[in-house]
Amino acid sequence: GSEMCIRDSPDAVIHKIAHPEIKIITLTITEGGYNIDKASGNFILETPAVQHDLKNPDTPQTVFGFVAAGLRKRMKAHQGPVTILSCDNLQHNGNTARKAFCSFIAAQDSELADWVNTNVTFPNSMVDRITPAVTPADIERLNRRNGVEDAAPVYCEDFIQWVIEDNFIAGRPAWEKVGVTFTNDVTPYEIMKLSLLNASHTLLSYPAYMEGFRKVDTVLADERYRAMIKLFMDRDVTPYVPVPEGVDLEAYKDQLIKRFSNKAISDQVSRLCGDGIAKFAVYVVPILKQMLQDGKDISIEAFLIAVYCKYLIGARTESGENIAISEPHITPADKKLISRGSPAEFLKISPFVSLGLDKYPVFMEKYEQFYAMQVAEGLKVLLQ
């Protein structure tokens, strides 16, 4: 249900989760919404909202508290098992959901924790469809075209892909009839999508925003960006992508360029810049780590991180416009490092600290070189 419904009638949500006819609970709570500490991989029990829910199981505030309350009611009424299906843009999103919910429940109620172990499954899934943010102008435009008065319309591209691990403890609909791919292992699909689509989105967003671009299709109409994205996908990412059975990787990459160029979608560059702290950790760092170990050319990654550093430290575009920075998952330690205004200190922020980038002289040299350049100059150096 929407936030509205949860705020207005929390009991209705709990009742719904416990209802015997409910067999699947789907979740989209964003990459950072699972409240997992990036360094340790553990669920963070100390946040005020989580502490509130641990102590007040009947009046929850967080998704963890709501689900726990609903499952407790389900267990007590013997309403049978249920599947919790994460649809978030995270590798192994089902494993992450299991970790988060089971950690919370174990801290709150050991009897419920035992019941969840045998009565709830958390399939991994991968969902892919570019869906821009909806502005007030979009609401007007969409309703005018559709002849309806929709208060919350959503528009998206025509491409759609949903891959799900077939692990549903209480049964499932025959979604394969409408194009869902069921598999025993979602991993190759996830790696392909996160490291090609999402990492490319991150790569184009910061340099383009700094140069004044606001729409993704206009970025793709620029030869320099198309060339950089293609180089990134072919040279940097492809060697690390396990290809799922029956997928033509070259065709998938060509299709990505077409999807990014879609004028009807005209996605916002600012949307792609949002929540960089969480996105870098999930989309860029895993492959960069392997590239560093393998001694690969990391010019593009050094360029991207240098531009992200300027974006966060300066909070201004190259023409001097103020940037409205949206970083919901930034830590106080990250803020402190950024406020020092030093590119070297910046590399210690949470998504990058585990890489130990200062130990790679080649990376550091390129990173400092790109930091000193305007974006256009950096792009020129990369493409030469």
pLDDT digits (tens, 9 = 90+) for 91-121: 899 999 999 999 999 999 999 999 999 999 9
Q: Identify whether the C-beta of residue 154 lies closer than 8 Å to the C-beta of residue 195.
A: no
What's the whole-model pTM score? 0.81
5 band by pLDDT with thresholds 50, 70 and 90: low
pLDDT digits (tens, 9 = 90+) for 344-379: 999 999 999 999 999 999 999 999 999 999 999 999
d(CA 310, CA 331): 18
Q: Identify whether the C-beta of residue 170 lies closer than 8 Å to the C-beta of residue 24.
A: yes
* 24-27/82-86 β-pairing: parallel
Counts for the chain of helices (H) and strands (E), in that order: 20, 6
333 band by pLDDT with thresholds 50, 70 and 90: very high
For 229-255, letters b (16+ CB in 10 Å) and e give: beebbeebbbeebeebeeeebeebbee
d(CA 384, CA 378): 10
- What percent of the chain has pLDDT above 90? 93
- What percent of the chain has pLDDT above 70? 98
pLDDT digits (tens, 9 = 90+) for 260-319: 999 988 899 999 999 999 999 999 999 999 999 999 999 999 999 999 999 999 999 999
- Reported as half-sphere exposure (CB side, CA atoms, 13 A), residue 55 has a value of 8
Burial class of residue 154 in the structure, from the number of CB atoms within 10 Å of its CB (0-12 exposed, 13-18 middle, 19+ buried) = exposed
